Amino acid sequence: MTKKILLLFALVASMVSSASAYVIIIQGGGPNHTYNYIRLTGSRCECRGNGNNNCPVRFTATAGERKINMEDVVNEVLARQAKGESEGSFVYEEVMPVEWKTTVKNEIVITTKEDEVDLPK
């Protein structure tokens, strides 16, 4: 009986750890959306400052067995911010929950919930 409880606990723990949230932070960039600090990892993408480098949001994520272009998600959030919204949430293409907010430092923080992120090699 104890083994069954431990196995059930391990299964639940693995399910919780496999759920992921990817964070994209964008700050500055000017009118042409170029940045001087860029960091891309398996859990977040950060693009900050006014520079001459493009933010590397041209990667995909899988949500509900569908491939989602993350650049499209970012463009949707930027369009909503341009309309005057400072935060919000929506479900992109009916499969990927997206939350975003603008911080006091004027950073746009986008958090997605997906099954897997496929970064460029």
Mean pLDDT of residues grouped by 10 in the chain (121 residues)?
Answer: 40 46 94 91 95 93 94 95 95 96 95 93 76
Q: Give me the pLDDT at residue 20, please.
A: 84
- The continuous run of DSSP H or E covering 8 comes out as helix 2-18
Tokens linked to 68:
């989602």
Tokens linked to 51:
């520079």
55 neighbors 47 (Cβ within 8 angstroms): yes
The number of angstroms, rounded, from the C-alpha of 48 to the middle of its chain's C-alpha atoms is 15
Q: Give me the pLDDT at residue 56, please.
A: 94
Q: Give me the pLDDT at residue 33, please.
A: 85
Q: Give me the pLDDT at residue 36, please.
A: 95
**For residue 71, which of 32, 45, 39, 53 has the smallest C-alpha distance?**
45
The residue extents of the domains of the chain are 19-118
